[in-house]
Amino acid sequence: MKRLFVLLIATLLLFPTMIKAAENDLNTEQKALRSEIFSFLKEEGFSPEIDSDGDIKFRSEGNSYFVTISAVDENPMYITLYMPFLNPDEYSSDAIVMATKALNKYKGVKVVCFDTAFRISAELYLRDSELFKESFYKLKSQMDSVKSDFLEECKNITAGSGSISEVPFIITKMEVANVEYDGTIIQDYGSTIYDFKSKYLQPRITIKPFKTSGSYTVYVRLYKDNVLQRNASSSPESYTFSRSVTLNGNSSQVEALSGWGSKKAGTWTQGSYRFEVWYNDYCIGSKTFKVI
């Protein structure tokens, strides 16, 4: 398959955090950037709109695109251009995991798996809208090509052209509980998590092994409203925490990972959350949930 590269500034794609900020969270400069990008897209004939999250949404050739602006990064500012898709029914979760890895090896934009969907995205650090304008069509072309390449990789892997040997297991189910520091359940897996009771958010995974034994380190990302949660002094780079998983035979097994939070009730405010579990460059499972 032909390898395509996108020429971007040096900081492009150095950080995986994809930030979705509510409109009221943006400062004056960030709102001005959004307005300039909105005007550019309108002038180019894309009929953009601002959605309920304060992001720019537009359609092209039957696909939906979003532009999000980080409320955290100010100088330079940080934006994400992405396309969301539901997972194709004809391909297994195994094939989708493998296809994600294949594309992420060399593409200038990235593919990330979620529960039942995947996202093709590109990120930019910039100080004004000019870089976005200069890069937009190049990025869009790259993203459009990645979708067909991704489906082609899924097809090849399903036909036996790919190997699952690099992944010891995949996650077939993930649930989240609110727990105490010692693991005592406050609100059980799959139950509603209330902000005023929240302490440690703990994912529990059901895994399908591809190997029968061995211990494997997985890396976990926790996002709140698409902002990566981590401790600068203790978290692995670009992740929230890591955990070793030991396989016992080839049957499905359930494993509770570490909790992340604090002993103080009310640690987590209302919002949308997501856990992602990674092994090497594979996203082997994810779970979106809410704290209310």
Q: Say if 12 falls within a structural domain.
A: no
First to last CA, the chain: 46
| 3 domain-assigned | no
Instruction: Give the mean model confidence (pLDDT) for residues 23-48.
Output: 91
Q: Is the pLDDT of residue 45 over 70?
A: yes
pLDDT recorded at residue 97: 73
Q: Is 8 inside any structural domain?
A: no
Please compute the mean of the pLDDT values over residues 7-15 and round it to a whole number: 29
What's the whole-number average pLDDT of the chain?
84
Sort 106 into a burial class: Cβ within 10 Å, 0-12 / 13-18 / 19+: exposed
Residues 184 and 100 in one domain: no
Q: In this structure, how many other beta carbons lie within 10 angstroms of the beta carbon of residue 149? A: 21
- How large a percentage of the chain has pLDDT more than 90? 48
Pairing of strands 49-50, 56-60: antiparallel
Please report whether residue 241 resides in a domain: yes
Residues 194 and 197: their CA atoms lie apart, in Å, by: 6
CATH of residue 69: 3.30.1460.10
User: Amino acid identity, residue 20?
Assistant: K
154 and 191 belong to one structural domain: no
* Whether residue 236 sits in one domain with residue 143: no
Q: How many domains does the chain have?
A: 2
Q: What does the alpha-carbon distance between residue 54 and residue 37 come to, in Å, rounded to a whole number?
A: 13
What digits encode the pLDDT tens for the residues 111-149?
A: 877 767 888 888 888 989 999 999 999 999 988 888 888
pLDDT at 24: 52
Query: What pLDDT, on the 0 to 100 scale, is given for residue 57?
Result: 96
Q: For residues 118 and 178, state if they share a domain.
A: no
Is 153 among the domain residues? yes
Structure tokens, 157: 């892997």
Rounded Cα distance, 279 and 170, in Å: 9
More confident residue, 98 or 136: 136
Which residues have CB under 8 Å from 241's CB, separation 6+? 219, 220, 234, 235, 258, 260
206 and 271 both lie in a single domain: yes
In a shared domain, residues 148 and 112: yes
Q: Which of 158, 177, 195 is the last residue of a domain?
A: 158
Provide the domain limits for residue 238.
Answer: 169-291
User: The tokens of 31 are what?
Assistant: 């709102």
Shared-domain flag, residues 118 and 229: no
Whether residue 187 sits in one domain with residue 76: no
CB 176 within 8 A of CB 220: no
Distance, in Å, from the CA atom of 69 to the CA atom of 28, rounded to the nearest integer, reads: 12
Q: Give pLDDT tens digits for 208-222.
A: 888 889 999 999 999
Is residue 119 a contact partner of residue 112, using CB atoms and an 8 Å limit?
yes
What integer pLDDT is reported at residue 22 of this predicted model?
44
Residue 120 sits in the same domain as residue 28: yes
Could you tell me the two tokens for 273? 């959350």
Q: Is residue 5 a part of any domain in this protein?
A: no
Question: Is pTM beyond 0.75 here?
Answer: no
On the question of pLDDT at 13 being above 70, the answer is no
Same domain for 225 and 111 = no
- Is there a domain that residue 38 lies in? yes
pLDDT at 168: 87
What tokens does 284 get? Answer: 């082997």
Residue 108 lies in a domain: yes
Considering the domain architecture, whether residues 120 and 191 belong to the same structural domain is answered as: no
